[in-house]
Structure 1
Amino acid sequence: MAEREIIVAEDNPRDREFLAAALAGEQVRFFDNGREALDYAGTQVDPLVLSDIQMPGLNGIDLAEQLWAARPSARIVFWSQFDDEMYLRALAGIIPPETVYGYVLKSNPSETLARAVAAVFDDAQCWLDPQVRPVEARSRKAGSAVTDVEYEVLIDIALGLTDNMIGRRRYLSRRGVQSRLKSLYAKLGVDQDQFAAEGVGEAFNMRARAVSVALRRGLVNAHELEQEEAVLAEWLARERAR
């Protein structure tokens, strides 16, 4: 039986050192960026991949989406320092049916990583870090899972855009923007009527409160907002050039 090979995508040198020790005895091929890891994994029949989430260039989510599109049988263990709902929400939207994957936090000892690797690569069983299971369940629950269009408007208000500018950017009427905001507020539990019933109706700005809740839930983070700020700047430049 041929020895299996684990393809690792990790840009941090110290994390690569940790993985080299944790995976001692395994045949491991390291890549310090997602693009090279994807290119190599795409040449394998049933690739086994261990990938960081946040990497420059091609991140772990995009790596997985593109690899699964070409190799649905690929098994991927995501190894991340983040338990943010935004990443688990993104994963929920790209995982093919019957696909085996894992999600492990970097704060765990090497023994936990080894269990996840064994479950996914040896036993063909999904493995989710206990700390992220409640977050993953919420990201899939219809009543609280934020949709793509709701996520867009969340990003827009986090970036400080007005209703008029959101409508212009997303090709919506003002009423359409307000409808999406209302739906987003409901998903986040930001309820003006409830605030009024509790006697704090004038205490909160709804947009700011929604962003606050989203940050605490991990639906957005500083890294994502920095990237979205760059995307917004490009869009504004195109608008000014018209």
Structure 2
Amino acid sequence: MIRVVLADDEAIVRVGVRAVLSAAPDVEVVAEADSGRSAVDAVLAHRPDVAVLDIRMPGLDGLDAAVEIRRAGPDTGTLILTTFADDAYISRALGEGAGGFVLKTGDPHEIIAGVRAVAGGAAYLSPLVAKRVVDHLSGHGPRLREGDRISGLTVREREVLGLVGAGLSNAEIAARLHVVEGTVKVYVSTILRELDVRNRVQAAIVAYETGLIPRS
């Protein structure tokens, strides 16, 4: 069972998101919070697998809460939930190491998919957000040649990076490559270090930009 802390300052939103998550047989909302600070407290008290955090909350916002959660409860992944597909928010979320970014206005199933992905150690971006990220990066210059960013990776590491970019968890990558999950964890750690990125979301962006993942 994936244990979730849900944080949003609007009670009606929490009711709706909780209903969506409760429809998934493998997800349980163990606590709710109405601010970033209370979300951090709830994570420390319940040690959930995932914290679903609204960006705009009074006092400590969702992104600042994600930073504190990563420091205080590193085993808890963070999924950012917002109404706004604002480039500044997206950039900040990715820079702060959030595990995923989902729009409230998107398909409700995206929230479930995001929670499952983050709980499994994978990255998740709503399709609209993923497109904005790729389009934004593309607008700042030509697409990177493969050797510009991933020349230090082995063939196998590039294969793993491509699967990370496709949204697969460590367990799914291990099954695909017929190796043990611990080996995949080593590959992913090496990839993050070699690319000088904080998390799998940023690594996934590199996978897109270097051609390891085709753009639709």
TM interval, shorter chain, is 0.5 to 0.7
Shift of 1:142: 10
**Quick check: 1:7–1:30 contact (8 Å CA) kept in 2?**
yes
> 2:130 — aligned with what?
133
Shift of 1:44: 5.1
Shift of 1:7: 0.5
Q: 1:23 aligns with which of 11, 21, 24?
A: 21
Residue 126 of structure 2 aligns to which amino acid in structure 1? D
| CA gap 1:140/1:46 in 2 versus in 1, 3 angstroms | farther
> 2:50 — aligned with what?
48
Partner Cα separation in structure 1 for residue 109 and residue 69 of structure 2? 27
Partner Cα separation in structure 2 for residue 47 and residue 112 of structure 1? 17
Matches within 5 A, 1:75-224: 75-95=77-97, 101-121=99-119, 123-137=120-134, 143=140
Residue 87 of structure 1 aligns to which amino acid in structure 2? Y
| CA gap 1:139/1:63 in 2 versus in 1, 3 angstroms | farther
* SS in structure 2 of the partner of residue 131 of structure 1: helix
**Quick check: 1:76–1:101 contact (8 Å CA) kept in 2?**
yes
Shift of 1:136: 2.5
| CA gap 1:134/1:112 in 2 versus in 1, 3 angstroms | closer
Partner Cα separation in structure 2 for residue 92 and residue 20 of structure 1? 24
**Quick check: 1:11–1:32 contact (8 Å CA) kept in 2?**
yes
Residue 28 of structure 2 aligns to which amino acid in structure 1? Q
- The structure whose Rg is larger is 1
Partner Cα separation in structure 2 for residue 47 and residue 41 of structure 1? 9
**Uncovered stretches (5+) of structure 1, i.e. residues with no partner:** 145-242
Shift of 1:82: 0.8
Partner Cα separation in structure 1 for residue 48 and residue 136 of structure 2? 28
Higher relative contact order (CA 8 A, sep 6+): 2
**Uncovered stretches (5+) of structure 2, i.e. residues with no partner:** 142-216
Residue 129 of structure 1 aligns to which amino acid in structure 2? S
> 2:3 — aligned with what?
5
**Quick check: 1:88–1:139 contact (8 Å CA) kept in 2?**
no
TM-score (norm 1): 0.50
TM-score (norm 2): 0.56
* SS in structure 2 of the partner of residue 78 of structure 1: strand
| CA gap 1:129/1:56 in 2 versus in 1, 3 angstroms | same
C-alpha RMSD of the superposition: 2.4
Shift of 1:91: 1.8
| CA gap 1:46/1:13 in 2 versus in 1, 3 angstroms | closer
* SS in structure 2 of the partner of residue 11 of structure 1: coil
Partner Cα separation in structure 1 for residue 33 and residue 117 of structure 2? 23
